[in-house]
Amino acid sequence: GQSLEQPSEVTAVEGAIVQINCTYQTSGFYGLSWYQQHDGGAPTFLSYNALDGLEETGRFSSFLSRSDSYGYLLLQELQMKDSASYFCAVRAEAGTALIFGKGTTLSVSS
């Protein structure tokens, strides 16, 4: 079967750096995506990695290692508004929809 593993909860303080890991076991691999979802809101796209390495977008960065079936989302200079759930998602086969992990709840305190 297809599975993605990520921690269920992470806590941090404002201004800190936090890393949310994601490991996947899927039949194939066509890319790793990250989404953010605030309580009561829609999931919103953050980043996408198809090749190994680090992608940086402002305070958020995402990393992928295909040989390790592993990726992470790095959030820097944390703000209270970053408190949300973060989901990793994999496209296992070409032309098919994303498979999501259970999500990591990030709580940022002052």
Partner 1 sequence: ETGVTQTPRHLVMGMTNKKSLKCEQHLGHNAMYWYKQSAKKPLELMFVYNFKEQTENNSVPSRFSPECPNSSHLFLHLHTLQPEDSALYLCASSQDPVTNTGELFFGEGSRLTVL
In the range 66-105, which residues lie near partner 1 by CB under 8 A? 87, 89, 91, 94-103
Shortest CB 48 distance to partner 1, Å = 4
Shortest CB 12 distance to partner 1, Å = 22
Give the residue carrying structure tokens 């305070």: 59
Written as six digits, the tokens of 30 are 């066509």
| CB environment 2-16: b (16+ within 10 A), e (fewer) | eebebbeebebeeee
Shortest CB 80 distance to partner 1, Å = 21
Shortest CB 31 distance to partner 1, Å = 5
Closest CB to partner 1 among residues 78, 87: 87
Contact yes or no for 58/82 (Cβ under 8 A): no
In the range 21-50, which residues lie near partner 1 by CB under 8 A? 31-33, 35, 40-45, 48, 50
Contact yes or no for 12/105 (Cβ under 8 A): no
Q: How does DSSP assign 2-22, residue by residue?
A: -EEE--SEEEEETT--EEEEE
Applying CB under 8 A, the residues found at the interface with partner 1 are: 4, 31-33, 35, 40-45, 48, 50, 87, 89, 91, 94-103
